[in-house]
Structure 1
Amino acid sequence: MVVIHESGIREENCKIIVANFLSAVDHWVLALLWNVVTPCIWNVPKSLAWCLGYSDFNASCGRKSLVKNVKKHLNDCSTSILVFPEGATTSGQKGLLKFASWPWNVGEPVQAVTIEIYRPMRVSPSVLGGRWWTDALYTFFCPLTIWKVNVLPIVARREDESDDEIALRYQEQMAHHLQLSSTNFTCADKVELAKNRLFKRSQGSKETNRIDEMVKQVLAVLPHVSPSDIKKQLLINDDVEVTIAHLVENPLDARSISSESLNRLEKHDIEEKITRRNKKADLTSMSLQERKDLLLQEARRSYLKKHDMKNM
């Protein structure tokens, strides 16, 4: 269910409406209130833009082409133009993205409206890096979504005021009404942030898988050592052989022993390991290569015994 609350006076002579951008369906909601069309300023197929309810004003050819087609539309039709000057959705919790100034280049009066969205559950209207269709589906399947639309007074242009300057004043007016910050971040900055977070997330997942695989390799040689202690050393050394050598030479660094591992060890197996260890030369007196060879032999012996294979 969708509930819309409208407040403020809409000036009929204002043919351009600018609003903050919270969800993929904001333009549908405002179209229920007023007779407006929304130019598609994103590089998407025309058929998809039409399905989403956006109008093609040839924005892909540049700002001049967009402004020219908007002027032509306003001269030929009575339908107003709805613009989201931020260019990308935000959470509506922190601040507004920097406004594009082209709506004030059209030469028509501009009126600002603010949008606030409320839901009984903590379901965000849009998610950083999310797809438009997922945001739309959440809107359709959420039991209740409330849009609060406030119409703000028109800001008069000052003498010799540029498009960028008046766009900034509109941005500050809307931010003040919403009790948000007026930022200099652009929609391109948001896209870059989403890419960086996605990259870090994927890199973190790969790194976790790599460390887990290394932990398994160490456990094959030192099954009595807790995986958490092994992982702690791997994060320092980032090397399986160095970690094994360190845990053998410094048993105090492996204080927490897995009880499950101890239960699996039979008494004669423990005695065998102790006897074998006593027969070994002191590891600290060996070279690094000798310690590696010894540990590899131990790992091979453990593997053959575990799988009941004969030494070949």
Structure 2
Amino acid sequence: MALTVDRLMNDDRFCGENVIQFLLYLPFGILLLIIRTFLALILWIASIILPNKSAVRQMLSTLACWTFGVYVKLKGTRDPRCSVMVANYVSCLDSLAASHVLGTISLRKWKVPPFFASTLGIRNAAQFVRKQHFAECPSKPVLLQPEGGPTNGKGLLKFTDWPFQLGNRVQPVAISVERIFTNVTVHRPSDSRDKFPWSDALWFLCSPASVFTVRLLPAVERHDDDHGAFVSTVRQSIADALEIEPTEYKWEQLNAGGRAARRREARDVSADVTRLAAQVKEVLPRVPVRDIVRDLVNTRSVDVTITNFLEGVTPYTPEPEPPSEPRPSTSQAPPRYITPTPTGVFPKSAKERQLSFQERKAQMIAEARKRYIEKHGLNVALNNC
């Protein structure tokens, strides 16, 4: 089955099948969050005080992995001739995992504190100068993720072209991550390239462990001027290593598709509530529409909402009755109806509630019969019930 946009996104955080196990773990997760928050404070202080040396950066990277519960498995061999690595994008901490085992620098446009970016192995893409970087630290490769944004790992987004203009020889890197109970990445309507996903990072702190597998693949070299074939080869190499399907979707389409799906869902819900409210209004014409809609949002049932209003569970202020149309005079006496005014007060005893329900039911039936008789001009006299 072909991949669609919604199958590349996670909209829910919980990913397990046993909710009870997750609830049993939750107290330990909260305790783990407190401990790791204390470690994050130590990490922040250390990053400010300690000098910017390679050994210090490696120590801070290790402490950051402990803080976020990140465990990294490295597979494959790094090609020393490649100063550019190209990887897929699965989480906000891909750069930390790669920096910890490969010493890479990742390019991001996130607006995060400098110490936080340095600890995660991030450098702002707007401040990155290629020649200066390779002149100062030629042994420190650059990790590029041309998908532009994270997916749930079930497919590979279409790559942008600019990373492949940095060199004619790149090394593909396949990154995968496993975690119990919760999804690593969840898409929200406010997702942006410039904003760090703090909610995803928070769940790293709560989770027992997030296991990253960083797989180094054979380097790919450009042999001719066919730029498209070069990009396609690198992308296909990563897709084959992850055993997933390369798609033609871009991250902008993925994110816009998620927002559009949510808007469609909201419109569908609104239309459904409006339709149900019209049905309730036909039965209870004196109940305000706003009160009907408010109750239907919770119940999504016409019968339950009507019962709530009739039994006084949902209080409301009755609307005034519309003026009745003049009827032709007849020799017969006009019919009489039971029209007790609803109080909107919930009775205390079960007996009183039952009596109230019967009275309101009789009122509803009588008013419906009255409207039917008047609408069709029937000359019918009813006895008082």
TM range, normalised to the smaller chain?
0.5 to 0.7
Say whether 1:102 aligns with 2:162. yes
| Matched AA of 2:267 | Q
| CA distance in 2: counterparts of 1:75 and 1:264, whole angstroms | 88
How many residue pairs get aligned? The number is 243
**Deviation for aligned residue 1:137:** 1.1
**Deviation for aligned residue 1:193:** 1.0
Of the candidates 150, 155, 173, which is equivalent to residue 89 of structure 1? 150
Structure holding more helix per residue: 1
Of the candidates 95, 99, 110, which is equivalent to residue 31 of structure 1? 99
| CA distance in 2: counterparts of 1:12 and 1:136, whole angstroms | 32
- Residues 251-301 of structure 1 show CA distances to partners (whole Å, capped at 9, x for unaligned) of xxxxxxxxxxx9455667766777777777646746xxxxxxxxxxxxxxx
Q: Hey, what does 1:186 align to over in structure 2?
A: 250
Higher mean displacement: 1-10 or 129-138: 129-138
Relative to structure 1, the CA distance from residue 213 to residue 229 in structure 2 (aligned partners, 3 Å threshold; closer, same or farther) is: closer
Secondary structure of the residue that 2:171 maps to in structure 1?
A: strand
The answer to whether the 8 Å contact 2:276/2:302 transfers is no
- Overall identity of the aligned pairs, in %: 21
Task: Output the TM-score relative to the length of structure 2.
Answer: 0.54
| CA distance in 2: counterparts of 1:205 and 1:16, whole angstroms | 48
- Residues 113-159 of structure 1 show CA distances to partners (whole Å, capped at 9, x for unaligned) of 111111132x2111122751111111121112111111100123232
Gapped regions of structure 2 (runs ≥ 5): 1-68, 192-196, 288-300, 306-352, 378-385
**Deviation for aligned residue 1:80:** 1.2
Relative to structure 1, the CA distance from residue 49 to residue 96 in structure 2 (aligned partners, 3 Å threshold; closer, same or farther) is: farther
| CA distance in 1: counterparts of 2:180 and 2:304, whole angstroms | 45
| CA distance in 2: counterparts of 1:92 and 1:281, whole angstroms | 61
Of the candidates 136, 143, 146, which is equivalent to residue 201 of structure 2? 136
| CA distance in 2: counterparts of 1:108 and 1:212, whole angstroms | 62
- Residues 72-99 of structure 1 show CA distances to partners (whole Å, capped at 9, x for unaligned) of 3123322211111111101002x10011
| Matched AA of 2:266 | S
Of the candidates 42, 55, 75, which is equivalent to residue 7 of structure 1? 75
**Deviation for aligned residue 1:218:** 3.7
Relative to structure 1, the CA distance from residue 105 to residue 50 in structure 2 (aligned partners, 3 Å threshold; closer, same or farther) is: farther
